[in-house]
Amino acid sequence: MSANAPLSFVHRFEPATEAGAPPLLLLHGTGGDENDLIGLGRMLSPGSALLAPRGKVLEGGMPRFFRRLAEGVFDEEDVRRRAGELADFVREARETYGLAAPVAVGFSNGANIAAATLLLRPGTFSGAILLRAMVPLADPPAVAPTDTRVLLLSGAMDPIVPGENAERLAGQLRAAGARVEHRLLPAGHGLSQADVSLAQGWLAAPAEAVA
């Protein structure tokens, strides 16, 4: 299957090389593209299929997954629309590449669109690793509860995501039925080796493990 199948997002796809490894959906931060998190995906789950779309929104020429009005202030109407687009893309890609529901791995803006998709289109992901995520929707809709595993990794010294905001996101996800493990790391907004180690361990844990 071509790695450049014409789907609704510009994307990069790497087929699985190990049977049973969970497919990963890699969602970059502001200014990134479909190549940014490929190396991280390979580290987190060697042998997994990797699917990495490029955000469609441009902010000063930098790709993002949805519009924002200011730092930390999101255009929530656009968030809702773009989360639907991402969920539709995942469905297309699963059909095209023969994938199981992926684990979303998102950083910053990519983590925020993943969180919004968990809240708006439950069932799109089999799990999610949210790196430096914040609340994408002030008042998410009530949805049928899911049992999705979520690892939320926040930085105690993050100048962009206040600790209260990350805690509120964890609460929203739990209210939607997700099994959330939230860790506050001695880090800023950038990723650390602790993020990688925790994410590796979380992915390797049995799906029925209690978060």
- Are β-strands 149-155 and 179-185 bridged in parallel, bridged antiparallel, or unpaired? parallel
The answer to whether the beta carbons of residues 82 and 57 sit under 8 Å apart is yes
Burial of 106 (0-12, 13-18, 19+ CB in 10 A): buried
C-alpha distances (whole Å) from 209 to each of 119, 125, 149, 180, 201 are 22, 17, 9, 11, 12
From the candidates 33, 75, 78, 189, give the one annotated as an active-site residue: 189
Give the pair of three-digit tokens for residue 40: 């991280």
From the candidates 36, 158, 182, 195, give the one annotated as an active-site residue: 158
- Cβ count near 4 (within 10 Å): 10
154 is catalytic: no
189 is catalytic: yes
28 is catalytic: no
From the candidates 108, 154, 182, 195, give the one annotated as an active-site residue: 108
Catalytic residues: 108, 158, 189
